[in-house]
Chain A
Amino acid sequence: MSSLTPAESEYVTLESSDGFQFVIHREVAMLSGTVKNMLSSPGHFTESMEGVIQFRDIKAIILEKVCKYWYYKARHLNSVTEIPHFEIEPEYALETLMAADFLDT
């Protein structure tokens, strides 16, 4: 276990509305403008200090999709080879769109 404080830890936790927790790399989560602001705001907010963000409007399945997208983006960001397509199931497309809009990603 890392001995870093939660504020500096390599991982952050995102919690969905239905109580699922997603522990992902901090760098990856920073691909979202909203999360970046939450985690790096200068004030003493719980989010930036604990490294935990709760999303009360985003369901787990959508949040999972978003995390997958972030990893997909981080993986292929500077790639010169062909980038595979990121598939989104149509039944989740609308909610994912709203979540993506909120998260500025």
Chain B
Amino acid sequence: MCTRRSERLSTRSTTRPTAPWTSGELVRRQAAQEIGTIIYSLGCFPSQKDLHDFIAKVEEDHTGYIHLDKFLPAMTKVLQEHKFPPISEDLLLQAFEALDKEKKDYLDPEELTKYMTQEGEPFTQEEMEEMLTALADHRNQIHYKDVVSQMTIKPDK
């Protein structure tokens, strides 16, 4: 069991008691998911393979733990080198258009499911269901032009 480190992720005064372990340790239950969440929220867009490679570099000798003092320099490098740049709206639109073989300006759930679960870095069933709930409208069609403009998160100024 790793000992608690004194580094903290945020500057925090300690006069009001707060839970004592919310600091430098990042405990890996499902490393890909947790680290992925962090990297994604920093505005990066790695692929699953990118994530696995990154984790392999920072993981603490197969213990399943990742320490801040290894994660920070690696993550800083990623940010400075713009290693996993964001996907622009145009590029995303083109991607949807590439899947829309019949050029009907929308995708059917079946079409999207086929690609998402069988090609590339396939989605799990859970991920697919969530995506369909989020993207399909009341006609059960995915009008990707609307979706893309609504859901692209603008970078922080």
Q: Do A and B bind each other?
A: no
Interface residues of A (CB under 8 A from B): none
Chain B residues close to A by CB (< 8 Å): none
